[in-house]
């Protein structure tokens, strides 16, 4: 079986993940991604005894690319990570589809990579989920969320230069979890006119505003100025100015990469 991931030396993932012995190799069996230990025995996402270190998994895969399709990371309740799987979220130009665009923008500061199929995205962030979320249909794709007892295939194919770091998005994953597990499927928050943006929702609201302005060609400096006003006047608990600057820079940077990819 041919490897689904490039064997180039540049293969890299965040150190936050490689430092944990929560790795395995995998291959396809009847269209299912089946996990194995580095020693070649069936692995389980609930049995740490079948996992190994990042280096061991990488070595096993690279030594036998005809046997393994790639490596994978297992989520466990003892670690601080949440995984988001945006299935079939990229269009023919490898741009996020409309239904996935807001999520990609919201998690733009954390590690994100292209899935083995080349049509989806996987993200890692810090947080905790009340429960795992199996695939929920969204648009013409789907979203899954896991923080325990599941594994993600890992390609090392960072999406458009995504940062090699895993950032905290505890409130964001809880909000998305609520949206996916309740009857309503909307994920946008609209504050009452003249009201305050509640803490826990303000980050997404500011990111949404930044993304809208950036798509209309507003420069990063003007976006930052606008966000600072909203932060100071409408946020229930205004965040520090450096966070606002980061949102403005991230939105403009991401959209700049998107434009470059289209040209």
pLDDT single digits (tens) 111-161: 999 999 999 999 999 999 999 999 999 889 999 999 999 999 999 999 998
Report pTM.
Answer: 0.71
Q: Please say if the pLDDT value at position 262 is more than 60.
A: no
Same domain, residue pair 231 and 114: no
Same domain, residue pair 104 and 53: yes
Look at residue 240 and tell me if it is in a domain.
Answer: yes
Same domain, residue pair 31 and 117: yes
Pairing of strands 23-29, 32-36: antiparallel
pLDDT score of 197? 80
pLDDT digits (tens, 9 = 90+) for 8-18: 345 899 999 99
What total of structural domains would you count in the chain?
A: 2
- Token digits of residue 88: 């079939």
Look at residue 108 and tell me if it is in a domain.
Answer: yes
Same domain, residue pair 161 and 212: no
Look at residue 195 and tell me if it is in a domain.
Answer: no
Same domain, residue pair 108 and 177: yes
The candidate with the shortest Cα–Cα distance to 124, out of 175, 81, 164, is: 81
pLDDT score of 185? 45
The candidate with the shortest Cα–Cα distance to 225, out of 205, 245, 239, 211, is: 245
Look at residue 191 and tell me if it is in a domain.
Answer: no
pLDDT category at 90 given cuts 50, 70, 90 is very high
Look at residue 2 and tell me if it is in a domain.
Answer: no
pLDDT category at 182 given cuts 50, 70, 90 is confident
Give the residue numbers spanning the domain of 128: 15-181
Which 8-state DSSP code applies to residue 183? Answer: S
Q: How many CB atoms lie within 10 A of CB 41?
A: 8
Largest CA-CA distance found in the chain, in angstroms, rounded = 62
Same domain, residue pair 166 and 223: no
């Amino acid at each position: 079986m041919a490897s689904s991931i490039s064997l180039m030396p540049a293969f890299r993932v965040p150190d936050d993940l490689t430092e944990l012995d929560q790795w395995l190799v995998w291959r396809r069996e009847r269209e299912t991604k089946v996990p194995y230990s580095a020693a070649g025995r069936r692995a389980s996402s609930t049995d740490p005894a079948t996992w190994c270190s990042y280096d061991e998994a990488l070595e096993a895969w690279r030594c036998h690319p005809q046997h393994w399709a790639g490596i994978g990371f297992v989520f466990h309740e003892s670690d601080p990570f949440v995984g988001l799987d945006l299935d079939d979220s990229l269009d023919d130009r490898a741009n996020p589809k409309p239904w996935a665009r807001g999520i990609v923008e919201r998690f733009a500061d954390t590690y994100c990579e292209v899935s083995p199929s080349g049509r989806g995205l996987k993200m890692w962030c810090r947080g905790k989920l009340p429960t795992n979320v199996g695939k929920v249909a969204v648009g013409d794709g789907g979203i899954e969320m896991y923080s325990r007892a599941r594994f993600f295939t890992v390609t090392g194919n960072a999406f458009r230069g995504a940062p090699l770091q895993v950032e905290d998005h505890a409130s964001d994953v809880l909000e998305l979890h609520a949206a996916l597990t309740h009857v309503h499927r909307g994920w946008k928050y609209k504050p009452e006119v003249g009201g305050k943006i509640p803490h826990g929702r303000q980050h997404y609201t500011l990111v949404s505003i930044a993304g809208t302005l950036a798509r209309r060609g507003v420069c990063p400096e003007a976006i930052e100025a606008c966000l600072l006003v909203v932060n100071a006047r409408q946020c229930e608990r205004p965040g520090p100015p450096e966070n606002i600057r980061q949102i403005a820079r991230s939105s403009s940077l991401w959209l700049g990469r998107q434009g470059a990819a289209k040209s």
